[in-house]
Amino acid sequence: MLVSAKHDVAVGAADLTLRALADPTRRRILELLTAEQLCVCHLMESLAARQTNVSNHLRVLRDAGLVEAEACGRFTYYRLRQHAFDAAGELLSDLASAAAAPATKRPCP
């Protein structure tokens, strides 16, 4: 079965998203960003974490395309990128649909 390049890109994006979501601290950062845009100092306070730790988690989230940054004076605010979650949601939806279907057994040789 041939898989399109567009499908490969979507699966790659979903893979990055799922890897980023695998960490509890990154999931918590995303939860905090659902309510409002926050800067690193806000996240440090909410997470009781060091600046380097928060910054490293934000880098992973940016690389996965889940958050974007906006400079505001000497601070940088972060917000969610909604469309980034779409590919992961589509992949999980496809897997859930396949899991709900009756499984066939491949005969052994």
What does the pLDDT look like over 25-51, one tens digit per residue? 999 999 999 999 999 999 999 999 999
Query: What was the pLDDT predicted at 1?
Result: 45
State the Cα–Cα distance between residues 64 and 48, nearest whole angstrom: 24
Residue 80: name the closest of 26, 42, 19 by CA: 26
**What is the DSSP secondary structure assignment for residue 80, as one 8-state letter?**
E
Going along the chain from its start, the domains and CATH numbers come out as 5-89 (1.10.10.10)
pLDDT at 58 over 80: yes
